[in-house]
Amino acid sequence: MTSSFQGYSVTVDGGLVHLRLDGNEANALGAARYEGITRVASEATEEQVLLLTAAGDSFSAGQNLREYVAAQVQGELTELLTVGTDAVLALLECRATVVAAVQGPAVGGGALLAGAADLVLLSPHARLRLPELELGMPLGASVLERLVGSAAARRMALTGAWVEAREVACLGGARLVAADTLEHEARDLCAQLLAADGRVRAIARRLFSGDERARAAALYRAEVAATIELLG
Rg (CA), the chain: 16
In the chain, alpha helices (H): 31-43, 65-73, 77-92, 109-115, 141-148, 150-159, 165-170, 182-194, 198-207, 212-231
Find residue 49's DSSP bridge partners. Answer: 16, 97
> Is 132 an annotated catalytic residue?
yes
Active-site hit among 67, 132, 145, 223: 132
The distance from CA 35 to its chain's CA centroid, rounded to whole angstroms, is 13
132 closest CA partner among 117, 151, 149, 110: 110
Helix (H, G, I), strand (E, B) or coil at 13: strand
Alpha-carbon gap, residue 7 to 110, rounded angstroms = 14
Burial class of 89 by CB neighbour count within 10 A (0 to 12, 13 to 18, 19+): buried
Instruction: Give the pairing type, strands 119-122 and 97-102.
Output: parallel
- Identity at 108, one-letter amino acid code: G
Catalytic residues: 132
